[in-house]
A and B are shown apart, each in its own frame.
Chain A
Amino acid sequence: MTERLNAPWGSRIDRSRRLDFSFDGKPAQGFAGDTVASALLGSDRWVLSRSFKYHRPRGPLTMAGQDSNTLVQIGAEPNVLADRHPLAAGLAVSAQNTTHGADRDLNSALDRFGRFMPVGFYYRTFFGPRKSSWLRYWEPLIRKSAGLGRIDTALPPAHYRKQNLHCDVLVVGAGPAGMAAARTAALAGAEVVLVDSEPETGGALTYGRYADSLLREQREALESAGVRILLGATCNGWFADNFLPVLQGDLLWRIRAAQVVIAAGTQEQPLVFRNNDLPGIVTASAVQRMLRHYGVRPASRSVVFAGTPHGAMAALDLAEAGVPVAAVLVPAEARLPEALLSELRAEGLRIVEAASVVGAQGTRGNRRLKSLRIETPAGQESLHCDLAVIDAGSTPGYQLPLHAGAKLGFDEVSQTYSLTNLPASMRLAGSVAGIHGIDSVIRSGEIAGSNAARALGLAADAPPALPDADAGFHRTYPVPPAHNQGRDFIDFDEDLQVKDIVNAVADGYAELELVKRYSTVGMGPSQGRHSALATAKIVAEATGRSVAQIGITTSRPPFGPEKLGLLAGPQHNHARLTPMDGWHRDAGAKMIPAGIWWRPLYYGASAEVVADEIRTVRDGVGMLDVSTLGKLAVRGPDAGAFLDRIYTMAHEKQPVGRVRYCLMLNEMGSVIDDGVAYRIGPEEFYVTATTGAVDRVFAEMSLLNAQWRMKVDIQNITAAFAAINVTGPKARQVLQALESDIDLTADGFPYLEGRTGHLAGCPVRIMRIGFTGELSYELHTPRSYALTLWNALLEAGAPQGLKPYGLEASRILRLEKGHIIIGQDTDALSSPDELGMEWALSKKKPYYIGKPAVEKRRGLGLQRALIRFELSPEDGAKLGESCLVLRGGEPAGFVTSIGVSPGLGRMIGLAYAHPEDNRPGARITLRDRAGTNVEATVVAHAFYDPENKRQEM
């Protein structure tokens, strides 16, 4: 490791704590407080990666995470910004996009073949020599070489968090302007959150040429104002209503602010010249960060291009740090304050006026800058140096304002961008607003903060703006014509040169959005931070327009990279449990998720118990927890009339105590849900719906009544009631063994009726309906009574052999009766006619939802019908749901439900088929999962007890 500069240089590092790590497998060292990049620079290692297309060596450019030259792999994590990532002991860092590490990349040979890779070349190549060449040869080759970094698919899951935060004022950027804005707004009484991606407040005050006391004063003032500060936090976008996500490590802050102040600073722009990408060419603030934050001695000999006062101050910093400065180049277009020029001269620095940079030369393999070739009115000159500090002006941090709808304009006179058309709740402060003199920067923050506070109705004086001492000194620089030898990069991420953009325009892409898509300029990790302005200037020149007319490509969130885990996590699996859930688990049930509910599939160690459960129901009595069933309370004078409109059967005149089937259609006449309606009283119905559809049905009912305004109250009470289906020939005996005020005799409680009363001391609503095809009682009780009733039934039913059964047995039991399950046997087009449910359509009602469509579709004729089929279990061994039904060798339908009936000893199922095949005894062809065609026989509606005698006993 080379010697670091002595303190006070290196404000962030702790020289007493050395940290060992590795780069490309070789040992390396740094200090606590270093970033990975600063630690490597401290060892005089400048090559961190290889460029995308030409595999040229690349090193730090901004030291602020604004360029992609510093993307490295750290352990299992690819694409880590080395100039942002804190150094830790044991890090295994490696270069990306290279065959043998940063120093040796066999693919660097591509740099010599640049002429064969002009802009958009990939649209015209890789198609030959044969038609199959793309898939056989080129695609695998490109896929193998594409991408940056390596993904470790064996990584264990990581944990991510989200936090919601509301505030009055969000200030983005904790430099001098942001600190002033936050302080001012907070002192006026606003709740203020200040966000910055750096690990400390201060921004440029921490690395620029400012008095230490200024930083200290600003921090103390901020601390006493009670501002909430988030550091190491990146504001990654602006969304409607001032919703701004802020990324802080593994935490995503979802911030909602009434007012926003953007003090995001600027993005320094590179200078365009041949070989302007060599390691050792950096921005002015980059070298200041190296010096002041990390105490890195960046070079043995430097040259500074001072296009604005910032560059001149960087030169003074280098001189102060003892780094030789060969020359300070002042371009012809530049205006620097005379005081600053005098200071440079007083340091003995050579000032070269009217200087432009023609090109750079690198060491062998272009691993480091070796010299800079400059041109002045006196001619050309080579300056030996291993560091070139480039200050070619800057663009404002425009991203967040543009997300919010602001416009980016360009002034040809000052050659600078400016932001206008900001939303009313967003303000700019500091250099992002084009203000550079430190006093005016701080004042601009105070103005923005007080204006934000006043917009909230708080009392705050708006101080007057201060004249900007640096006004007129800041500008950007023209892009020279394409160098005849190329390698004058305008987009370092995509290895795009000036001629690439010129050629894109020549190829016919005159509009910036098309130039972007054709050339990929601005599409790399830096997202145009360093290429947008240069590209606009080239396109303007090539098309005879102004930069303002060219504009900028649309800026969209995210501002920077964000991990998908931050957006997705934390993962919370919502589970709803019935009151008997604990009992099922204790009884050894195999539990499965049914939507977001957990339900027992069967009770036992394996599915072999299902046949026993079915037999228990058919021969004795079983009980099923059906608490997940949707339940709706429909109450009021218009309750019956309301249900008449919703469902296909008649309910307005439904007698009290009667239970009636409910079928719900949509406006297309397709079946969307079914259930039953139990009329408890003249103005009260208890309506069931399927587990999966009840929320939708409730929402639809609520929406419709908001339009119809009928006197009816609808409430989704699914969770308020538990439900237990007691079913089997001995079901009545079980219930009669319990104390009850309900007449449970066959005559006293016929099929399709309901009763309200008590059973085993529990209030109940009981409905006699038939899903299994056996004598069935569906008992509904308030949730708090569920376990009591469940246990009471088990005890009373023990002599009858009562046992619980699960979903799998239930599925087969209903299949044996040919009953459909909504969503399983129906799809978006299933009409009552297709399902053979014409009986459920009232012929007398003038209207129900879907009635007009049912009648219209009837006129079109049936295209398919849901049929029941059976075959031997051996023949149907490889059949399953969705297997095709064939007719004449062509698909005519598909299987919706299928299973083996232990009682019938047959494989039975439901399927859509040609309507002409819907006749008992017809033969249909099914294609199983092995691709074999098997024959099945069509049966009438029910496989079991077709006359329904057992359920109506």
Chain B
Amino acid sequence: MAAMTSIRHFPLTGLPPAATPGGFILDRTAWPRKGLRGAGTPAWCAAAGLPFPGRVNTVAQSHGLRIARLGSFELLIVPDSRSAAIPDAPGIPDAFDGYRDESWAWLRVERPEWRDLLAPLTSTDLSPRSAPAGSVVQTRLATLDAVLLIEDDAVDIFADIASTDFLLALLGEG
């Protein structure tokens, strides 16, 4: 199963990587990432040498990777650079591939005012107090289910890959 989704092949929507003038919205959909789900996920992390974050909606860091805990047994692993390797640990029972490299677009907004940019698109409180750097927000953004990894001056947005054009257009309106 890992072979099915481990190779990134095309920019999926055909849009250029920096989709907006000024380049503050970056399309990282072609970057590697891994989703995991199932009761075996903690064991998978142990076998892969990665930390399993202690609480839901928090992020652990290790070897150039961010490991975001999305649920009791659900993780999203993203690299800080395109070349960072995501380890594998095959054969762990009940640790299922979450297909996040194929099902989610990854858009990164690099701008100190990113909270203002997202404010028209979600009713979730994204203020620094409610969504501090290092946290994970799972919410509705532009009517899509979205996962946000929060940094001080940037945010990584993961949402339905088939809606990438739609989301980029809305982000670009800001």
Contact = CB atoms under 8 A, between A and B. Distances in A.
Interface in A3-30: none
B14 interface: yes
Interface string A150-173: 000000000001111110000000
Given A164-B123, A782-B4, A579 B12 contact: yes
Nearest to A162: B120
Interface in A700-744: 711, 713, 715, 717-721
B94 interface: yes
Size bracket, chain A contacts: 35 or more
Tell which of B13, B103, B170 has the most Cβ of chain A within 10 Å. B103
Nearest to A575: B166
Size bracket, chain B contacts: 35 or more
Given A633-B99, A787-B10, A572 B170 contact: yes
A164 B162 contact: no
Interface in B131-153: 142-144
Tell which of A572, A578, A783 has the most Cβ of chain B within 10 Å. A783
A166 B98 contact: no
A784 B41 CA distance: 25
Nearest to A628: B162
A163 B119 contact: yes
B38 A713 contact: yes
A798 interface: no
Given A636-B94, A713-B37, A578 B162 contact: yes
A861 B38 CA distance: 45
Contact of A635 (B96, B164, B166): B96
B99 to A, nearest CB: 4
A191 interface: yes
Contact of B165 (A165, A191, A575): A575
A721 B142 contact: no
A166 B131 CA distance: 12
B99 A720 contact: yes
B5 interface: yes
A785 interface: yes
Contact of B142 (A572, A633, A783): A572
30 contacts: A161-B120, A164-B119, A164-B120, A166-B125, A191-B127, A572-B142, A572-B143, A574-B142, A575-B165, A576-B163, A577-B163, A577-B165, A579-B10, A597-B162, A713-B37, A713-B38, A713-B94, A713-B96, A715-B37, A720-B99, A720-B102, A763-B4, A763-B5, A782-B4, A782-B99, A783-B102, A783-B103, A784-B8, A785-B9, A787-B10
A256 interface: yes
A579 B13 CA distance: 7
B120 A719 contact: no
The 7 nearest A-B residue pairs measured at CB: A720-B103, A720-B102, A576-B162, A720-B99, A166-B125, A784-B9, A719-B162
Contacts of A784: 7-10, 12, 101-102
B130 interface: yes
Contacts of A582: 14
Given A720-B161, A784-B10, 19 more contacts: A164-B122, A164-B123, A166-B125, A254-B123, A256-B125, A574-B166, A575-B163, A633-B96, A635-B38, A713-B38, A718-B103, A720-B99, A720-B102, A782-B5, A783-B12, A784-B8, A784-B102, A785-B10, A788-B10
A717 B103 contact: yes
Interface string B71-105: 00000000000000000000000101011011100
Given A576-B163, A713-B37, A165 B102 contact: no
A763 B3 contact: yes
Contacts of B110: none
Contacts of B142: 572, 574
Nearest to A165: B119
A577 B164 CA distance: 8
B31 to A, nearest CB: 12
Interface string B3-25: 11101111011100000000000
A670 to B, nearest CB: 28
Contacts of A579: 10, 12
Interface string A240-255: 0000000000000010
A719 B161 contact: yes
Contacts of B130: 166
A589 to B, nearest CB: 16
Contacts of A597: 162
Contact of A721 (B14, B102, B125): B102
A456 to B, nearest CB: 11
Interface string A509-521: 0000000000000
Contacts of A191: 127
Contact of B102 (A161, A254, A782, A788): A782
